[in-house]
Every structure is written in structure tokens, then in C-alpha cells.
Amino acid sequence: MPMMQTRRRFLTAAALAGAADLIRPPRTLAAEGPLETTTVRLMRIPAICHAPQFVAEELLHAEGFTEVRFVDAPSSAEINEAIAHDKIDFNLHFASQFVAAIDGGAPVTILAGVHVGCFELIANDTVRAMTELKGKSLGVEALGSSPHLFVSVMAAHVGLNPMKDIHWVSDPASKPSELFVNGRVDAFLGTPPEPQELHARNIGHVIFNSSVDPPWSQYFCCVLAGNREFVRKYPVASKRVLRAILKAADFCATDPALAARRLVDRGFTPRYDYASRRYARSLTTNGANTTPRTRSGSTLCGCMRPA
């Protein structure tokens, strides 16, 4: 049976990373063969729902990587191109985005599901349910963006035609959340920390939370994928990256408060209370369920525990 990644084991792994020159590699790592490369590149974006890869740095060092780089980007829209054009090696991203990229011929290899939900569909008082999006305006970064694809799938699931029934609004000068706050759209799909910011200001209400509301809470939201050539050329390194990210996901699930603190301390998000609240909201629902889901659905922070 696999061991659960506890806070103590996580900190132990971090300590081992600092003492790597003084100890022999664990037997299990040696059996896999040496790392083909000791450098790995990931992307840093404002969305804290990518928490597992943000808190995985020490675990990656413990796996033998001496250089872990985070390439800055303004949003998740750059992830597909960055992986396909060898600007980064691995990253979490919305599953439909990777499917669309692979369908278009991008050299992307999906390794595993990691994250089961983080989106919240926030609306004004004219929208109380998904079906009431018909004829309404919804703010998105751009057509083809993760929120646009996700809402389109959800709308089609309840019988709407996302191309005809929803008025999609994007503005390069304003974020979708700003369009919503300013009354220019009726709803938008937010990723952390945007929902937490609006909850704190008592703006809008949640009509869907992908962490806890079925059926989408039972499916992977984000998956880990890598550059196809990297995965082919460096199979041992790829395996260790995957293992580190899955352990980090388990850490987020078992000790969300410490995970939130690490996000703030390492500069991935400025507000501890928003990060902590994002994890805490996974324990509550706006529907009938009142207990957190287990590995078959989601976990405390919307991250899966590695099987």
C-alpha cells in the first residue's frame, strides 16, 4: 500500500534535498537509473489552483533535480504553446486545453490526472442556475480559453447551445472578474484567488463549484503533461517529476494550511487568507453534500491523492 504524504514526510523530504551530497540516493531511485537531466522547467501563473506544482520544488530536489525553474506568465493561456515549443518541460493545465492542443498536432504527452476542481461559476441575481445562462452574457479571457471551454461543456450538458445561447464577452483591457464587478457581464468562471476576493467583498453568488458539485467534481479538471520529446528522451526524469507532483498534491490535501503558507512564502500568491479559504471551501458545499469527498471524487484542496 502506498504511504500517505504527511507534513512530517514532506519536511523530511525537503531536508533530504539539502543533504543530498552527504547521503546515498534511496535504493528505489537508484533502481530506476540515473537522471538523464537535472533541470526541469515549469510555469508560474497567478492561478493558485496549480498549487501542487508550486509546492513541489523541495520534492523535485529530493528526486535529484538540482535546478527547478519557474517561467513567469500572465495567465494559463500560454501553457500549451510553452510546452509545445520547448519553453517549459511540464505543467498542470485544464484537460480540455491539452486535448485541443494534441488534436491540433502539438507535441504534448499527458502523464496523469492531478487536480479535480477549482472553478467557481459566479453570477449576478439574474442567474440562479446553469440553465438560466441562456441569453445572458459571460466574461472570458478569450474564446478557446479554459473558462470558455469549461462553461461550454457544462452548458451543453444541461441542454444549452453554448455557441448560440450564451453571449461571450472578452476585453483585453479588463479581466472577466472586472467585467463582472462593473456590471458588464452577468457571470464569469473564476479561478483562485478571484472567487475568494469576490466572496470577501460579498459580490455575486456561486451557482457552480467544480470541486464539489457533480458531475464535474467526479472528473479530473487539470492534468500533468509534458513536452513529448522530453518525456521520450528522459523517461526517468519524467517519472520523478510525476512522482514529486503527485506527492505534492497529497501534501496539499493532507495539510492545506501549510500548503497555503508555502504558496505565500514563495511568492505564488500574496494573500494567505485567500489561499487558505480556497482549501477550506472544498470542505463545504452550496448543495446537499456536507462532507468532503474521498479519492473517488476530490480531496480537501481539490487535488487527488496519488494512487
Residue 271 binned pLDDT confidence (cut-offs 50, 70, 90): low
| Domain range summary for the chain, segments of one domain joined by + | 7-118+220-283, 120-209
Helix (H) or strand (E) holding 90: strand 90-94
**From start to end of 96-241, where are the E strands?**
108-115, 120-123, 137-139, 167-169, 187-190, 205-209, 222-227
Of 19-28, 30-39, 270-279, least confident by mean pLDDT is: 19-28
Ramachandran quadrant class, 175 (left: phi over 0; alpha: psi -120 to 50; beta: rest): beta
What percent of the chain stands above pLDDT 90?
A: 49
Higher pLDDT, 289 or 142: 142
Decide if pLDDT at 307 tops 70. Answer: no
Of 50-64, 186-200, 244-258, 286-300, least confident by mean pLDDT is: 286-300
Decide if pLDDT at 274 tops 60. Answer: no
Is the whole model's pTM more than 0.85, yes or no?
no
Tell which CATH architecture fits domain 120-209. 3-Layer(aba) Sandwich (3.40)
Under DSSP, the state recorded for 213 is S
Decide if pLDDT at 302 tops 50. Answer: no
Under DSSP, the state recorded for 44 is E
pLDDT of residue 151: 94
DSSP-based three-state secondary structure for 282 = helix
> Tens of pLDDT along 217-264?
888 888 999 999 999 999 999 999 999 999 998 888 888 788 777 777
pLDDT of residue 46: 73
The domain defined by 7-118+220-283 folds into D-Maltodextrin-Binding Protein; domain 2 (3.40.190)
Query: Are the folds of 7-118+220-283 and 120-209 the same?
Result: yes
pLDDT of residue 94: 87
> Tens of pLDDT along 253-262?
888 788 777 7
pLDDT of residue 229: 98
What percent of the chain stands above pLDDT 70?
A: 76
Nearest Cα residue to 189 out of 133, 153, 148, 228: 148
Of 30-34, 55-59, 264-268, least confident by mean pLDDT is: 264-268
pLDDT of residue 16: 47
Contact 136, 127 (CB under 8 A): yes
pLDDT of residue 28: 53
Mean pLDDT within 173-194: 93
Decide if pLDDT at 285 tops 50. Answer: no
pLDDT of residue 262: 78
Higher pLDDT, 289 or 97: 97
Mean pLDDT within 141-149: 86
Residue 268 binned pLDDT confidence (cut-offs 50, 70, 90): low
pLDDT of residue 297: 31
